[in-house]
């Protein structure tokens, strides 16, 4: 059974940085595309970033480009979301997810991700 666990959530001030970590316990971790999604209060869950299997290709929501960086460490079965210059509108529960497809057209589609973490709170506030 594949388990996904996010860590690293916190309360930070505007302009601050935070790094989220995601452990995916699977022997086939290297074959997964990993995605990060978020859900703000009163809003639907949305795509934030993704990295395709093999480390090739990263994708971002427009509003986080240049501020967020997604990466993966296949040896540790981890994905990371480095978030810089955080703003109050980044406040949300952040989810890590994994999908086996790896098809480019499915990268931003949360319905295509088979495995999900429980989510972790990120609050940006002064």
Alpha-carbon gap, residue 55 to 69, rounded angstroms: 13
Q: What is the pLDDT of residues 60-73, one digit of tens each?
A: 999 999 999 999 99
What share of the chain has pLDDT > 90, as a percent? Answer: 90
Alpha-carbon gap, residue 29 to 77, rounded angstroms: 6
Does pLDDT of 37 surpass 80?
A: yes
Mean pLDDT of the chain: 95
With cut-offs at 50, 70 and 90, classify the pLDDT of residue 55: low
Does pLDDT of 18 surpass 70?
A: yes
Output 55 or 58, whichever has higher pLDDT.
58
């Amino acid at each position: 059974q594949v388990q996904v666990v996010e860590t690293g959530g916190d309360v930070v001030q505007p302009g601050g940085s935070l790094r989220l970590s995601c452990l995916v316990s699977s022997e086939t971790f290297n074959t997964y595309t990993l995605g990060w999604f978020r859900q703000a209060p009163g809003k639907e869950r949305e795509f934030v970033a993704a990295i395709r299997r093999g480390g090739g290709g990263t994708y971002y929501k427009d509003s986080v480009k240049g501020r967020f960086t997604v990466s993966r460490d296949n040896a540790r079965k981890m994905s990371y979301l480095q978030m810089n210059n955080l703003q109050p509108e980044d406040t949300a529960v952040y989810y890590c997810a994994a999908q086996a497809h790896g098809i480019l057209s499915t990268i931003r589609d949360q319905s295509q991700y088979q495995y999900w973490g429980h989510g972790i709170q990120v609050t940006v506030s002064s």
